[in-house]
Amino acid sequence: MTARSVVLVGPMGSGKSTVGRALAEAIGATFIDTDAEIERRCGKTIPEIFATDGETEFRRVEATVVADVLAGGGVVSLGGGAVMTEAVRAAVSGHDVVYLQISAAAGFARVAGSDRPLLADADPAARYAELLARREPTYRAVATVVVDADRDPATVVEDVRVGLRDGREPRSKNH
C-alpha cells in the first residue's frame, strides 16, 4: 500500500518549497522537494541537467523521482512543469494535490534573476506568463485543493490545511 501524500503543484515562484517545508513541520510529516532530490540523485543542478541532457531526459528522471518519493508519503513539492508529464499526472492521482495559484506578475517577481532554464529568453516575464497560461489548466485538473499563494507562507499553509479533503492530513510512514 502506498502512503498518502500532500503534493504541492504550481508554477515556479508559487512557494511550493517554502509552503511545503512549513506544512510538513505543522503536520509532523516528512518533506521532499523533487527538484532537490533530482539534483541529489543526478549529482548536477537542474540547469546543468537541462544543458547537458536536455529537457526530455530531465522529465524522464523527474517522473521516476516523483513516483519514488510519493511512495513514502509526507509532503512533496513538485517542479513547476512536472504535472505536464503524463506519468507524473498518473503518479499524483489518489493523493491530495494542492495547486498553489499565483498570478504571472507575482510569480515572476519571485523568480526574476534566478537561474531558471525555462526562462532563458529575451523576455523572461513574457515567457513565464506563457508557461503559466499553458500549464494552469493542468494544475487545476490534477488539484484536489486550490489555494491563493500570493500571501505570506503561514496563511497559505493554514489555507492548505483547511482545504485538505475531509480534514485528513497525510503523514509519512515514519510518523
Annotation: binding site: 13-18, 35, 59, 80, 116, 135, 151
Q: Give the annotated binding-site residues for ATP.
A: 13-18, 116, 151
Q: Give the annotated binding-site residues for Mg(2+).
A: 17
Q: How far is CA 135 from the centre of its chain?
A: 12
Q: Give the annotated binding-site residues for substrate.
A: 35, 59, 80, 135
Sign of CA dihedral 147, 149, 151, 156: positive
Are 38 and 31 in contact by the 8 Å Cβ rule? The answer is: no
Q: How many CB atoms lie within 10 A of CB 154?
A: 11
Amino acid at 165: R
